[in-house]
Amino acid sequence: MKIIDLKSWKRKEHFEFFSKMANPYFGFTTEVDCTKAYDSSKADNHSFFATYLHKSMCAVNAVAELKLRILNNQIVSYDTIHAGTTIGRTDGTFGFAFIHFSEDFETFNKELQKEIGEVQHSTGIRMNNGELGKDLIRHSTIPWNSFSALLHPTSLDKTESVPKITFGKFSIKDGKKFLPVSVEAHHGLADGLHIARYLEGFQGLLNE
């Protein structure tokens, strides 16, 4: 973890401008072509969810701005960002899971499946934000519907700086599968350009 020197930081004015707002968050919703990733996950007998979650995390960790957080009134940059995600249960509730990031899919998926099992055999919301609390991205999946817009709950705490990424049910158009993706971040730390870079990287990984 590295502490950013605010005085010499190129985003100093951007951060101060957006941090004064009651709601400093922004985001948008789009689609990515997940056809190849879906087909390869099924051919390899892997969970499609595990496949795209891992690729999302690889893309997140390639964008420096998505690794910035507000911590103890300072801006910090984490070396590695991990995965937080919601996991559904058969009783209709969900719990939170935390998965350490690894570029190796098998390593990542092994921990993910362990977390899924623990959530499904637990009750309550199961707050699990890992060791440091902010070195993660919060993912959710809405598997029942596709969507073109999304509203995230927020406490309007202006120091809340963990981005949120939500996926929906893929739709099929002209024989291709398209996954809806909603991304939200603190505008003092990231701009539309940085979300676009994440999406570009995510799409590239889905195409492999």
Please indicate, yes or no, whether the overall pTM of this predicted structure exceeds 0.85: yes
Domain ranges of the chain: 45-152+160-170+184-208
d(CA 113, CA 92): 19
Whether 115 contacts 97, CB under 8 Å: yes
Express each pLDDT in 36-74 by its tens digit: 999 999 999 999 999 999 999 999 999 999 999 999 889
Angle between helices 35-43 and 192-206 (to 10 degrees): 40
Per-residue pLDDT, 158: 83
d(CA 162, CA 193): 17
Per-residue pLDDT, 130: 59
Express each pLDDT in 106-160 by its tens digit: 999 999 999 999 999 999 987 766 555 799 999 999 999 999 999 888 877 888 8
What CATH topology corresponds to 45-152+160-170+184-208?
Answer: Chloramphenicol Acetyltransferase (3.30.559)
d(CA 106, CA 121): 23
Express each pLDDT in 6-36 by its tens digit: 999 999 999 999 999 999 999 999 999 999 9
Express each pLDDT in 151-185 by its tens digit: 888 877 888 899 999 999 999 999 999 999 999 99
Per-residue pLDDT, 132: 59
Per-residue pLDDT, 133: 75
Express each pLDDT in 66-103 by its tens digit: 999 999 889 999 999 999 999 999 999 999 999 999 99
Per-residue pLDDT, 181: 98
The DSSP secondary structure of 116-177, one letter per residue, reads: HHHHHTS-S-----TTTSSSEEEEEEETT---S---------TT----EEEEE--EEETTEE
Per-residue pLDDT, 131: 56
Q: What is the Cβ-side half-sphere exposure of residue 10, based on CA atoms within 13 angstroms?
A: 2
d(CA 40, CA 37): 5
